[in-house]
Each structure stands twice: as C-alpha cells, then as structure tokens.
Amino acid sequence: MVLGAIGFKVFENFSVVNEINALVPGIDVDEFSIDIFNPSGLEVSDSVGVSISELGNGHYRSEFIPDQIGTWYIVVYHSQYFPWGKSDDVQVYTSDISMIASELGRVLGLTQENFYLCDMSYIDYQGASLLTSGKIKIYSVSDSVGSDNDIIDTYQILASYIEGKLVSYKVIKQ
C-alpha cells in the first residue's frame, strides 16, 4: 500500500518483466494505460492527471495528485506484459505523512519514552507529599533526557486535591 496526502503527488512504482523474468527497459510510456478509482469507487484517471515515466532498467513510475482522503485504487496495464494489470491501493490522508511522524514523536514521549519529569511542587497532606505541579519534557534522543537539548515538547502539570484525594489533573502543552 502506498501512502499519500491530498494535494501532493502520489507515486506508484512498478517493474516490467518478460516471459523469462528479464526486466524490459525502453517501453514507450504511451503503451501503458491506467485506471484510478477514487475512494467512492469512481474511475477518475482523466480528472486527476495521471502520468507514467521510465525510471530506467525496466522500472517505471505512475503519479497523480489525489483530491480526497480515503483508499484509492490504481491499476496500470500493458497489452503485452500484463494485460490483467498491476494494481495497488493508495491510502490518502489530509496532511503530509511527515507531519504524522512528528506527532508520533510526541505520542511516544507522552507514553514515557525519552520522558523527563522535573520542576515539581508538592503539598503535604497528613505526612504524604502530593504532587501539585511540575513539567514534563519529552526528547527525540535518549542521551539528551534531562538536558536542554533535543526537546520535542514541554508540558505543564497541574493537580489539585480535596482532603488528600486527587480531584483534577491537567497536562498542558507549553
């Protein structure tokens, strides 16, 4: 499955081999045909502007720009080498996948990977120390935990109690 984002080119790479499994370079790209189905199941290859180019040595690339989220389906045909078509799904999201990767770093940090709790304050309740505030810092590199380097994000912790029982707990991104 290929991943993509609305408004960004999506690439589907494929190779062409002959009957003895040797790569076939130099095919005129006009010999290929393509069907692209949007998430609603409509064939939209004309409206999304699909194209094919040769990468070299029998390897080729199709590309198009999706205009809606969901799972697309692309099929590339060649009358001699694969008349049945070569196909793949394309999962399209609302934003660039690299943005998802940065969010994942924050999620991992908040599940206490490369996590540092500091600047804590407490209240005393019948001899027990109850955390009322502090900071969580999450890091991209484990060797930097506790330092001022490679911080992904910092969060403020605020907790309140009534008669020693926790009644609210907030974690606020700074």
Q: Any idea where the domains of the chain sit in the sequence?
A: 2-93, 105-173
111-148 pLDDT, tens per residue? 888 999 999 999 999 999 999 999 999 998 999 999 99
Judge contact between 5 and 46, C-beta under 8 A: no
2-21 pLDDT, tens per residue? 888 899 999 999 999 999 99
Q: Name the helix (H) or strand (E) containing 37.
A: strand 32-37
Domain at 2-93: CATH architecture: Sandwich (2.60)
Of 40, 92, 46, 43, the residue nearest 66 (C-alpha): 92
pTM score of the predicted model: 0.59
* Stated length of the chain: 174
Residue 115 DSSP code: E
